[in-house]
Chain A
Amino acid sequence: MADSETPLAVHEPELRHHFDDSAQQFESSVLGMWVFLVTEVLFFGGMFGAYTVYRNLYPEAFASTSHFMNVTIGAINTAVLIFSSFTMVLSVRSAQLGQKKALIIFLILTLILGCVFLGFKYVEYHEKWVDHHVPGPSFRYEDTRYVHQAQILFFLYFAMTGMHAIHMIVGAGLLTALIVMSARNRFSAAWYTPVEMIGLYWHFVDVVWIFLFPLLYLIGHTK
């Protein structure tokens, strides 16, 4: 039985005692992360369901509120996130090749781009706050025909983008941890699993935005 005293551990860094070898451990991590991402698909999925229901119930209100979506910021943010996925994938590649400096640089770039996204999000939210479009006691809507329906739609906007932003913030925290770990030489071409796993998480958050952007910002815009 393999335990931490056998030579296997010497040649296979970071091997934990309950695994037989690194391949099993790595495959388990990959499957585990994907199962987690599947839970996230269903988690966001519930909100996409609610959004679809109300969009179809109140098409005029939806068309009305779509004029208040800042397409420019949304489009820039989409490009920013795609760019951050690119830098993330390059950081994983650097880890694969044992290129510590490149790994750190690309991780930092990814983190910066993530923060840019959050910064733009803050600008947007602030805009909405000033316009009294944040649901709650201070909510007011320009077209009195759709006040209540608009509040529901803005509620969903904030719930969906807010939940997405929370995932971005968590991702930023994880990236910071990765940067620190990389600087401390924890990763090598033989073991960089956390980089790849957090990369998967980051790309997933990007995929959620890829759907949020057209559904919230682009549809109903022309009516």
Chain B
Amino acid sequence: MSTTLPFAATQAQPNYLNVDYGWKSWLFTTDHKRIALLYLFSITAFFFVGGMFAVGMRMNLLTPQGLFDHDTYNKLFTMHGIIMVFFFLVPSIPATLGNFLVPIMIGARDLAFPRINLISWYLYIIGGLVALGAVVQGGVDTGWTFYAPFSSTYSNTHVLITAIGVFISGFSSILTGLNFIVTVHKMRAPGMTWNRLPLFVWGHYATSLIQVLGTPVVAITLVLLALERLFHAGIFDPNVGGDPVLFQHLFWFYSHPAVYIMILPGMAVISEIVTCFSRKAIFGYSFVAISSIAIAVLGFLVWGHHLFVAGQSMYASIAFSFLSFVVAIPSAIKVFNWTATMYRGSVSYDTPMLYAFGFIGLFTIGGLTGLFLATMAIDVHVTDTYFVIAHFHYVMVGGMVMAYLGGIHFWFPKISGRMYPEGWAKFAALVVFVGFNLTFFPQFILGYQGMPRRYAHYPPEFQVLNVMSTAGASILAMGYLIPMIYLAWAWRNGPIAPQNPWRAKGLEWEQSPTPPPTFNFDRQPVVTEPAYNYSGEEEEEVELGG
């Protein structure tokens, strides 16, 4: 069964990129694919800004006495966290790859609410500009966690404006989630039953549930914080009877599930990549699908593990600790299933698969160290140290960002109609892997040895590991810059891609042209096979004589 079109025809055919030109056709588009690209460019810009703050931090940490004073350093790590969490990680895969692919993967012509999709991008931009406005005016120094009463009473930086910016972007997240939920329920093509859905869609559905259920709580928390900044009633001020721990409870009710908003789409991407580059159906499809939902649900029951040393009752802490162990189980199931998929598969080492390998190894390390932190007796020792920082950077950067890069490379041909340079891509993946580990592994040791986080200056005995970490960060930065360059080059100059360069299964590869037309398909797809039917294809090849 041929799924490729002649090279020249692929370019000449009208697709979502060449159907219309001009800034209005982009800024007023309702095409989910164009909106995905709008997000891609803006998210990359924010990643760059957040990265600049990281550069400042790592430069400061080269020496024990540092480059900056405490107030400036406080602003650096705060802005790094706020921008990376709220304006990069939370939207990243869902708003780019999710927006682009979810409708195509289920056989639909667009998301359920295309105009709301565009509004969600504008809300993201407005929220981002408001937050950047706070940066330009001098920044915020509360930490991305905005803990009260410092944030509500004592900080004299631009907390209010930043809170407003984050609040607005939260609605962008809610609307994206709402759109995906309705789309997956109502817009599936004939034959696309729930147990034929690509795991990418299951992962994004689970993510959307979290976005819809969790984000409103951080929204109201920021409202209360903003009102407190304005009226000083004392709701979080212990001097007048307020409880700072209440802020932490309300904040983490969202912010813990938020980390699953960040990682589930990455896992969704890895499921797609691993099956394709093992030429094998995913091992335990139902388990992987249900594990996404399990993570979404269980992720709401563990937030108290951020409050172990905050004054939370011991009994609540015990419950949260136990549940934090439970939530690790579905993640572990995914890792086992990806590995089992590769076993006796026909594994190839294209760039997306290299990023998938990186994800599986680094996410596992990050996840296991999460269990250390879920253990109260250990957490008391390493909380607020670099151990925590290393943990979450392993899952977020070693996990999520690698999945993001893997996904961008995997679907780059579909999105752009061109191939990226594989040699440079493999090289960059290696640079990222080396740079990442050199940056963050020393931080586990630093944390264990007692170096606190959010400190501008540190005792001299920690310098060697800090220098290693900064060196690693420079390498990691190179690893991120190289793809930005060759992907931009390949967008215009790369070789034209065939319809299905990876010979992957899935509606987006098999039944949608590359790049897709505005309404995704030339004719309504009807689904008759299970997802990842690679063995069916192999049987065909054997029959035809290979």
Contact = CB atoms under 8 A, between A and B. Distances in A.
User: Are any A and B Cβ atoms less than 8 Å apart in their complex?
Assistant: yes
Interface of A: 1, 3, 17-19, 24, 27-28, 31-32, 35-36, 38-47, 49-50, 53-54, 57-58, 135-137, 139, 148-149, 151-152, 154-156, 159, 163
Contact of A46 (B187, B221, B232, B242): B221
A157 to B, nearest CB: 10
Contacts, number: 120
Given A28-B187, A155-B231, A39 B241 contact: no
B217 A32 contact: no
Interface in B217-250: 217, 219-221, 223-224, 227-228, 230-235, 240-243, 246, 249-250
B114 A36 contact: no
A43 B219 CA distance: 7
B530 interface: no
Nearest to B251: A46
Interface of B: 108-114, 174, 178-179, 181-182, 185-187, 212-217, 219-221, 223-224, 227-228, 230-235, 240-243, 246, 249-250, 253, 519, 521, 523-524
A47 to B, nearest CB: 6
A148 to B, nearest CB: 4
A3 B109 CA distance: 10
Contact of B241 (A38, A47, A58, A137): A58
B233 A46 contact: no
28 contacts: A1-B524, A18-B108, A18-B109, A18-B111, A24-B187, A28-B112, A32-B113, A38-B212, A39-B216, A42-B214, A42-B216, A42-B217, A45-B216, A45-B220, A46-B224, A49-B249, A50-B224, A54-B243, A57-B243, A135-B231, A136-B231, A136-B233, A137-B232, A149-B240, A152-B241, A155-B233, A159-B224, A159-B227
Contacts of A44: 220
B243 A46 contact: no
Nearest to B186: A28
Nearest to A48: B220
Contact of A53 (B179, B227, B246): B246
Contact of B215 (A3, A19, A39, A135): A39
A32 B175 CA distance: 10
A170 to B, nearest CB: 13
Given A39-B216, A46-B221, A148 B241 contact: yes
A159 B521 CA distance: 49
Contacts of A151: 233-234, 240
Chain A interface helix/strand/loop/mixed? helix
B185 A31 contact: yes
The 10 closest A-B pairs by CB, nearest first: A155-B233, A135-B233, A148-B240, A46-B220, A43-B216, A18-B110, A42-B216, A18-B109, A136-B231, A39-B216
A31 B182 contact: yes
A39 B174 contact: yes
Contacts of B224: 46-47, 50, 159
A40 B178 CA distance: 12
Given A50-B224, A136-B233, A39 B182 contact: no
A148 B523 CA distance: 67
Given A32-B113, A154-B233, A163 B241 contact: no
A169 to B, nearest CB: 16
B539 to A, nearest CB: 31
Contacts of A163: 220, 223
Contacts of A35: 178, 181-182, 212
B223 A50 contact: no
B241 A31 contact: no
A49 B241 contact: no
Chain B interface helix/strand/loop/mixed? helix
Contact of B250 (A17, A24, A46, A139): A46
Given A1-B519, A53-B246, A148-B241, A156 B235 contact: yes
Contacts of A154: 233
Nearest to A31: B182
Nearest to A32: B182
Nearest to B113: A32
B120 to A, nearest CB: 13
Contacts of B114: 18
B10 to A, nearest CB: 20
Contacts of A46: 216-217, 220-221, 224, 250, 253
B243 A148 contact: no
A136 B181 contact: no
A40 B216 contact: yes
A45 B223 CA distance: 13
Nearest to B178: A35
A36 B519 CA distance: 26
Contacts of A159: 223-224, 227
Contacts of B215: 39
B32 to A, nearest CB: 9
Contacts of A38: 212-213
A32 B524 contact: no
Nearest to B189: A20
A113 to B, nearest CB: 27
A193 to B, nearest CB: 13
Given A38-B213, A159-B223, A163-B220, 18 more contacts: A1-B521, A1-B524, A3-B519, A27-B186, A28-B112, A32-B113, A32-B182, A36-B178, A39-B212, A43-B217, A43-B220, A45-B217, A46-B224, A46-B250, A47-B220, A47-B224, A148-B240, A152-B240
A39 to B, nearest CB: 5
Contacts of B233: 135-136, 139, 151-152, 154-155
Contact of A149 (B178, B186, B212, B241): B241
Contacts of B186: 24, 27-28, 31
B227 A155 contact: yes
A39 B174 CA distance: 8
Nearest to A61: B241
Contacts of A32: 112-113, 178-179, 182
Q: Among A44, A139, A159, find the residue whose CB has the most chain B CB atoms closer than 10 A.
A: A159
Contacts of A135: 231-233
Contacts of A3: 519
